[in-house]
Amino acid sequence: MGGRLVITDRTERIVTAHWGPLYLPLFLDSATLDALEVVDREEGALIRRYPDGITVVALVPELPLAPLPAGLRDKTAEMFGRHAPGVLGVATVIAGRGFFPSLIRSIVSGAAMMSRTRVPQKTFAEAESAIEWAAQLPRQRPEIAGERSAIVEAVRAMAADHGAELR
């Protein structure tokens, strides 16, 4: 089908990319308001480009635990509410094995269950499962399902190129 991964922004803390309507922010460090501003801008641009909807697969490699900056939760909720009409689903990959990555995945899953959105959300330990889930969402473009193996390979390569590991 011929899709490809397009890197759209790169900072010390985040790399953003997309494969058609599949938005793939890769967090290289703990979440910050600056990184969230990049996501907000890029996600908005992609929604305008794909008015039938985009899917977000947020990629978080195993990172040291750090407190969230003040205002991050509020900014995330505001951004999510604003973009929700243009989002088919959100997969969050919290990579890593062991207690702490599992704990973080549980917290993220619990927060998603408590949110008041109709946007499907799911948390994963690895990128492959997240992309499989995203490919099966209602209204998902067929090329995402058809190219999911290539997408997984490209995402892993992008992470490796930036010193991040997504198991």
CATH number at residue 132: 3.30.750.24
Mean predicted confidence (pLDDT) in 100-128: 74
Domain-embedded: residue 166: no
Percent of the chain with pLDDT over 90: 58
Domain-embedded: residue 1: no
Domain-embedded: residue 167: no
Domain-embedded: residue 36: yes
Say yes or no to pLDDT of 56 above 70: yes
Structure tokens at 136: 């099966």
* pLDDT tens figures, 19-44: 999 999 999 988 888 999 999 999 99
Q: Residue 49: which residues within 8 A CB-CB, separation 6 or more?
A: 21
Q: How many domains does the chain have?
A: 1
Q: Whole-prediction pTM value?
A: 0.89
Q: Residue 66: which residues within 8 A CB-CB, separation 6 or more?
A: 30
- Strand order across the 121-124 sheet: 6-10, 14-19, 22-27, 54-60, 87-94, 121-124
Name the residue range of residue 127's domain: 6-161
